[in-house]
Every structure is written in C-alpha cells, then in structure tokens.
Amino acid sequence: MKRTMLSFLALAWLATACATPATAPSGSNGASVAAGGGPSPTGRTLVAAVQSEPRTVAARIIAQGAVSLSLARRIFNADLALLDDQSNPLPYLAETLPQLDTNDWVVNPDGTMVTTYHLKPNLVWHDGSPLTADSFVFSYQVYSTPALGQGTSLPIKLIDRVEAADDRTVVIYWNAPYAAAGALQSLGSSAVLGLPPLPRWILASSLEAGPEAFINNPYWTTGYIGLGPYKLDRWVPGAFLEASAFEHHALGVAKIPRIKIMFVGDGDAALASILSGDIQAAGDQAISLSQAVDLMRQLPAGQGAVVQYFNQWMSAHFQGRADFVSPAALRDVRVRQALAFAVDRPTLNEAIFAGQNLIADSMFAPTSDLGRAANTVAVTYPYDLGRSAALMAEAGFTKGPGGSYVGADGVVFAPELRGSAGSDSDRLTDAVASGWHAAGFAVTETIVPSTQAQDLQVKSSYPGIAIQNGSGGEGAISSLGSDSIPRPENGWRGSGIGFAGYSNPDIDRLVTAFGAALEPADRIRAAQDIVRRYTSDEPSISLFFPPTPWIFTSQVQGPMLRPASSNVSWNIYDWELR
C-alpha cells in the first residue's frame, strides 16, 4: 500500500522498541517509546537537534520577534503547574493547585476571583537564590507593563493584581472569570503562557531603565537562570547550547546529567546526524514530516519515535491591516472566499505530506470533544472552482486574455503569497501558488528564511497572504483578539496569530467569553460562536493540522505518545539515556 500512516508506523515501532522491558517515567500513565532499562550511565549527554536557534529560552517571550522553542523553554523553566502527557495540570512549584469553589479559588458574585497558591518549601533558582512569592509579584509587574507587549495576553489581562501573603503564598486577584486560573495555563495550550516567576534582583534595574534596556538584558540569553530541570552552562551563538541537571529541581534531579541542543537548520543534516548516531533526538521542526517518514523506513528495528500529534494549525492568513494590505481587493470577503474555494487541500495533502495531515476546517483539530463540537458550525470551503469563479464575478472581476482575473480598473489581481523556508513549506507554497495560477489568480511567491521569520516586524508586514504554522485550538483563540496584534506603535510586539492583523469586535467579545467560561458546555458554545464568525469572515484559509515529528533513537527512554496540548518534553527530568 503506497500510503503509510505515520502514526501507525510510530505505534508499530513503539511495539518493537518496547519488546525489551522498559521503565515508564514515574507518575506517568503512558507507554515508554524507546527500549531499555536502568539508569543513565554517568556523564552521558543527550544531544538533540532543533531547527532554529531561540532568541531567548524564557518561558514567556518578551523580546521583539523572539522565538522560544518548546524543548529549550521546557528544560530551563518551571511554573506553578505542569501539563502531563494527557494535558492534566500537575503541581510543579506549587504544593497543590487551587480547586474551584474552595478557599483557594473563590468566585465572587460580581465575577471577580481570588486564587491562592502555596509554594513548595526550599525552592531555589539555578544560581542558588531562594524562590519566594515576590518573584511572582515581580513577574506580573513585568508582563503587565504595556511597553513589553504582554499585558493584553492571557492570563495577564484578566489579572487585577498579585500579592505575596508571605514568602511561600502567592495570591492572585482576577478582574474576570478565567477557566484556567487554577493552573494558570493558557487553557490547555502547548503554547502555555502562565505566570512564570522572574528574578527581581537581576531584572528590576533594567525594567526601570525602559523597555529596550530590559529586553536587551543578557539575562534573557546567555545569562539566563530559571527553575527548570536543567541550568544553562554555555551558549555558542549559531551553534548550540549546553545544560546540566539542576540538583535542586522541584521534581527531583534529572536522570540524564547533561543536554546539548544543536541548532540545525538543514533537515537533511539533522537526518544524517540521527543515522550516524551523532544525535539521539530531533524536535521543534528539525526534521520535516516527509523526512521523518523516510527516516523510519531506513532505521532498523529497535529504534523509537514519538509524534507530536496535530498541535500546529497550518493556514494561509490574509493581511488584516488596512494600511498594509495589497491588493485592496483582499479586504473583500468574497475574494477571500474565492481563494479558499480554489485550494485543493486533499490533493496537496497526498502530494506533499503523503496524506499524513488532518485537513482543517477551522483552528480546532477534530481530535477532541471541543474540537469536534466547534467544527460542526464551521463554514467550509471544499475545492470548487465554479463557486470560486462565481464569487470573483460578484466582486467585479473578469478573466483577461491571459486567463488571470482583472479588476474593473483593468489591473491584474496579483497578490503576494508568502511562505517560510523548509522543504515541506517550500513545496506547499509553490503548490498552492500553482493551483491558484491555474484558477486565474496571478499570485507571486516569496519565501522568507527561518531567521527572518522570527522577526515579528518581517512576519507581520507582508502585503497579501502568508502561510504559517501556529498553535491551533485554544492556543489560537488566546491570541486571536485585536489586542494581540503587533503594530509599529507597540514595537511590533504581539502574540500568536495576531501577526496577521485581523481585528473584529465580535471576535474580541467572543474570545473574552471563551476565556471566562468556567463550565464545559459554556466553553463549547463560545468556541462554536468563534468558529462560526471566524470562518464566515475567512481572514485565513484553514489548510491542515500537521503532526510535528519528534524522533528518538533507542538510546532515549522516557518520551511518550501524547496529545497535542501537552509538550513532548514535559517529563524530560525522568528521561534516561542508555
């Protein structure tokens, strides 16, 4: 059979890899991916490849255009809670997590709330300084500073103030209901924002000096200290960073003594390094989906693989800022819908991704009850060139002698289609453009290098249409509001899909309602309202939910198959290296 499902391959490989007894991570409820047993040999280093060098390893991103990769972000940071492999929040720095309708989570009659968190005893930062509740007070002071671009994100915009009742007690006063307040997670998203603590004694003076001094403080890069399972030892720009196990980690000392994260922008090079044994893990887009399929066909039995299921929403976003968009006809919903009807997603999926992607009708993947319920009301755009042509005619376009659409002013409709570098991304951009050309849309193509794609000004200031991967589902909703849009006046600081500049007051209201919905039924209704309104307006063409592969050799024991809303490396402190 020509088509082989990657998820099935991973599961079959999993069975082979686990033929030898394996020890699952303590407290886990999933299966270990790689075979083996026993503690990691003394002095061993796990070498992992990621596609891009992060501009910061901070849990929350405050630097302009910064990209914080999930592996680097995870190993250096800790928050009050941690999502496990089933997306269940577990206490991390907190002894327990507040539960609704208890003394630790009080909802007042006016909708305001108070949540209380008690820190575990004897917690320290990577430099040995004690962690106290004041670090969360300072963290809120930082993230709520308007000039740093985080004050309008969740959960910060719903917090009124943070207080330290004593050194180990954090009290948060909320100005509105927030369903994820107990764990401070961004509603279960893998792009968790939370309220990670910050060291006042390092950052306070630069915060007072202004946003540029604060953002450029070396703390965010080579001087970083956190509370995660590993502490930063060395960062060689453009090459790698090295970390060692933190002896005072809240969940115990990591079993693998050292980690080296290599920045490998070439997927073929990462693939060769796995085959040669130079690296034992590859994630964060180091290897494309098609390369992962090839790799699993080449490696012998006994190797392991884990697939990060469908946590990305691949979509083509129309420029939403009136002063940036060109041609102006892209502001016409009929033109956007016409372009959507002219994308043959099933054929693209088979030709480029070997049929591995889920086809998307909205930002919600149909892999959860919430996603399936939300998609029942989505306005869909199946491949239909007749419907596409009819919409363009309604918008006042006809086809000229060359077969391309021409406006009433006689100008050919020729929007730019922008994609990012990478083997699968390049091919997708080219294939979408070719399909549009055949349908009469004279699009031009631009491919942006991955280094430039990290700059929010570059990412946000395109004139036409941009194909991007980003958080889907609840993660997308959390950055969908108008206040998440990067603009010149806010220093091009924003979050998530705000880069596209889409603004709609109805969506803003619905996003607020979704975040405030404490009951599951209310959340479903709010999600459906968002999907119905968003897909009617069609500010982006939903394409796919691609599974992002994380590849592990049989030397690595501990990574587990997990849902999209968790992080593959959530339990990295429990991984072992044979």
pLDDT tens sequence across 361-402: 999 988 788 889 999 999 999 999 999 999 999 999 999 999
The confidence score (pLDDT) of residue 541 equals 98
Q: Is the separation of the CB atoms in 404 and 397 below 8 Å?
A: no
The confidence score (pLDDT) of residue 549 equals 80
User: CA–CA separation, 211 vs 574, rounded Å?
Assistant: 38
> What DSSP designation does 157 have?
G
Asked if residue 266 and residue 367 are part of one domain, the reply reads no
Q: Is the separation of the CB atoms in 159 and 131 below 8 Å?
A: no
The confidence score (pLDDT) of residue 301 equals 61
Within 13 Å of residue 317, how many CA atoms lie on the same side as its CB?
28
User: CA–CA separation, 211 vs 498, rounded Å?
Assistant: 21
24 vs 241, residue with greater confidence: 241
Give the pLDDT mean for 328-343: 98
Q: Is the dihedral of CA 75, 82, 134, 120 positive or negative?
A: negative
The confidence score (pLDDT) of residue 70 equals 84
The confidence score (pLDDT) of residue 68 equals 56
Q: Is the separation of the CB atoms in 500 and 479 below 8 Å?
A: no
What is the model's pTM? 0.76
Within-domain flag for 318 = yes
Give the pLDDT mean for 453-476: 84
**Helices and strands of the chain, counted as H and E runs:** 17, 23
Within-domain flag for 198 = no
Least confident of 95-109, 367-381, 451-465, 521-535: 451-465
Structure tokens at 411: 């100008």
pLDDT, averaged across the chain: 84
522 vs 246, residue with greater confidence: 246
Within-domain flag for 67 = no
Please, what is the end-to-end C-alpha distance for the chain in angstroms?
35
Asked if residue 540 and residue 463 are part of one domain, the reply reads yes
pLDDT tier at 304 (50, 70, 90 boundaries)? low
Beta 89-91 vs 258-263: how paired, if at all? Answer: unpaired
3-state SS record for 34-62:
CCCCCCCCCCCEEEEEECCCCCCCCCCCC
492 vs 563, residue with greater confidence: 492
Decide if pLDDT at 159 tops 60: yes
Calculate the alpha carbon distances from 52 to 55, 62, 285, 369 in Å.
Answer: 9, 18, 8, 33
Decide if pLDDT at 25 tops 70: no
Q: Is the separation of the CB atoms in 524 and 370 below 8 Å?
A: yes
Highest mean pLDDT among 37-51, 72-86, 180-194, 448-462: 72-86
Decide if pLDDT at 192 tops 80: no
Within-domain flag for 505 = yes
pLDDT in tens, 67-125: 557 889 899 999 999 888 777 889 999 999 999 989 999 999 998 999 999 999 999 99
The confidence score (pLDDT) of residue 307 equals 55
Report helix, strand and coil shares of the chain as percent, to nearest 5: 35, 20, 50
The confidence score (pLDDT) of residue 118 equals 98
The confidence score (pLDDT) of residue 67 equals 53
DSSP conformation letters of 126-154: TTSPBP-THHHHHHHHHHT-GGGT-TTST
538 sits in the region (left: phi over 0; alpha: psi -120 to 50; else beta) called left
The confidence score (pLDDT) of residue 564 equals 56
pLDDT tier at 513 (50, 70, 90 boundaries)? confident
CATH code for position 316: 3.10.105.10
The confidence score (pLDDT) of residue 310 equals 63
Give the pLDDT mean for 245-261: 97
Asked if residue 334 and residue 280 are part of one domain, the reply reads no
- Token pair 């309602």 is found at 513
> Of all residues in the chain, what percent carry a pLDDT higher than 90?
52
Strand ranges (E), 150-301: 159-166, 169-174, 230-236, 240-245, 258-263, 281-282
Number of domains, the chain: 2
225 vs 305, residue with greater confidence: 225
Within 13 Å of residue 383, how many CA atoms lie on the same side as its CB?
12
pLDDT tier at 355 (50, 70, 90 boundaries)? confident
The confidence score (pLDDT) of residue 453 equals 66
Asked if residue 515 and residue 370 are part of one domain, the reply reads yes
Within-domain flag for 95 = no
pLDDT tier at 5 (50, 70, 90 boundaries)? very low
Asked if residue 339 and residue 298 are part of one domain, the reply reads no
Within-domain flag for 442 = yes
Helix residue ranges per DSSP H, 218-281: 267-276
The values of phi and psi at residue 384, to 5°, are -155, 90
Asked if residue 345 and residue 292 are part of one domain, the reply reads no
Give how far the C-alpha of residue 231 lies from the chain's centroid of Cα atoms, to the nearest Å.
23
Decide if pLDDT at 492 tops 70: yes
Smallest CA-to-CA distance from 480 within 71, 186, 174, 176 is with: 186
Beta bridge partners of 556: 577
Exposure string over 498-536, b if 16+ CB within 10 A, otherwise e:
bbbbbbbeebeebbbbbbbbeeeeebbbbbbbbbbbbbe
The confidence score (pLDDT) of residue 432 equals 97
Beta bridge partners of 113: 107, 174
Assign 297 to helix, strand or coil.
helix
Asked if residue 266 and residue 377 are part of one domain, the reply reads no
CATH code for position 246: 3.40.190.10
Decide if pLDDT at 421 tops 90: no
- Token pair 């992002």 is found at 548
The confidence score (pLDDT) of residue 311 equals 66
Asked if residue 327 and residue 342 are part of one domain, the reply reads yes
> Which residues make Cβ contacts (< 8 Å) with residue 140, sequence separation at least 6?
156, 159, 161, 162, 195
The confidence score (pLDDT) of residue 452 equals 72
Give the pLDDT mean for 144-148: 85
Asked if residue 327 and residue 225 are part of one domain, the reply reads no
Asked if residue 556 and residue 462 are part of one domain, the reply reads no
87 sits in the region (left: phi over 0; alpha: psi -120 to 50; else beta) called left
Q: Is the separation of the CB atoms in 373 and 528 below 8 Å?
A: yes
Within-domain flag for 172 = no
Structure tokens at 101: 């309708």
Q: Is the dihedral of CA 308, 314, 320, 321 positive or negative?
A: positive
Could you list the residue range(s) of the whole structural domain that residue 539 is in? 312-545
The confidence score (pLDDT) of residue 35 equals 27
243 vs 310, residue with greater confidence: 243
> Which residues make Cβ contacts (< 8 Å) with residue 99, sequence separation at least 6?
105, 182
Within-domain flag for 119 = no
pLDDT tier at 17 (50, 70, 90 boundaries)? very low
Asked if residue 491 and residue 363 are part of one domain, the reply reads yes
The confidence score (pLDDT) of residue 534 equals 96
> What DSSP designation does 332 have?
S
Smallest CA-to-CA distance from 512 within 484, 491, 540, 538 is with: 484
Calculate the alpha carbon distances from 238 to 263, 272, 307 in Å.
Answer: 7, 19, 27
User: CA–CA separation, 99 vs 96, rounded Å?
Assistant: 9
User: CA–CA separation, 481 vs 510, rounded Å?
Assistant: 9
Asked if residue 384 and residue 243 are part of one domain, the reply reads no
Decide if pLDDT at 348 tops 70: yes
The confidence score (pLDDT) of residue 312 equals 80
Least confident of 2-16, 87-101, 149-163, 235-249: 2-16
pLDDT in tens, 208-219: 998 889 989 999
Decide if pLDDT at 202 tops 60: yes
